[in-house]
Every structure is written in C-alpha cells, then in structure tokens.
Amino acid sequence: MVDFEHALIGEALVGEGPEVAHIDLVIGKKGSSVEQAFVTALASPARGHTPLLAVLTPNVPAKPSTLMVNKVTIKNADQALLIFGPAQAAVAKAVVDSVAEGIIPEAEADNLLIIASVFIEWDAKDKKKIYDWNYEATKTAIHRAIRGEPKMKDVLAQKDTAKHPFA
C-alpha cells in the first residue's frame, strides 16, 4: 500500500536532442503541502511560465488533477504550442494510463494532485518525439514516485560511476 500522506517524488529523462523529455514530479493528497503548491503555482503565472492543467482533450482533464509547470521560459508561439499540444496530451495520457493500469489506485485518483515540471527545449520541433518521450518520461517518473525509486542502495552504488548527460 502506498503512503500518500507524504509527498512522493519522481524523475525521468527520456530521448535525446532538442526533443529530450525531462520530467520531475511530485504526487500528494489534497489538503497537503502539494495542494498548496499546486494552487499557488496555478494562480501565479509569470511571463514565459504559465502553469496549465494536463488535459486529454479540452474539457477532459487528467485525474489525478495534474499541473504542468514549464522548466524553460516560453519565448514564442511555436514553443508554446508544443507545451499546450503534444507535451500536455502526453502528460495527461500517462497520468490516466497510470490509473488504468493500477499504478495509481483508482480509488485515490480524486484525492491526489500531481505537479509535473516539463522540459521543452527552444529548438524542439518534432511533435511525435515530444509526445512519445514526454509520455514515457511521465509514466516512468510516476512509477518511480509510487515505488520510491531509486532506492538509496542503488543511488549509493552508482555515485562514483554515474555520468550526467548534460555535464
């Protein structure tokens, strides 16, 4: 049984090049600090950073309710359309599929909130890669959050050999 009383944190990086997907997310119950962060972020857009709900299609939001926060400042309409299009659809579908597959218990879906930080590089263009890789990264990050992965022993085992792809 998953302890949803405390924030669960997940991360995943999938793909390569300008369409690389990097998702950081937090899952928590309504009434928790995650809800406070969710509402604060949604009510506090800034130039180039507009939090948005992940929706499967207009009027059909993901459940658990999922707030997307872009990591890269949106500088133009083309980039905005990638966030508000394939990235948004991919994150929403990954969340809902996680419920359908039992990763997130359906009985908890209305009580939980997810905040997902989404990376869309300025040079990204390929909508299919953006969709596919953000879907996979979101699903992986959810799995890791729910399972508490990676475990500390795995982190310690890799601490001296790990190579960061952007370092």
Active-site residue flag, 164: no
Check 6, 22, 49, 143 and give the catalytic one.
22
Distances (CA, A) of 54 to 2, 14, 15, 151: 23, 19, 21, 29
112, two tokens: 């939980």
Cβ–Cβ < 8 Å for 63, 99: yes
94: left (phi over 0), alpha (psi -120 to 50) or beta: alpha
Element (H, E) at 35: helix 33-42
Helix (H, G, I), strand (E, B) or coil at 25: strand
Cβ–Cβ < 8 Å for 75, 122: yes
- 31 contact partners, CB below 8 Å, separation of at least 6: none
* Residues known to be catalytic: 22
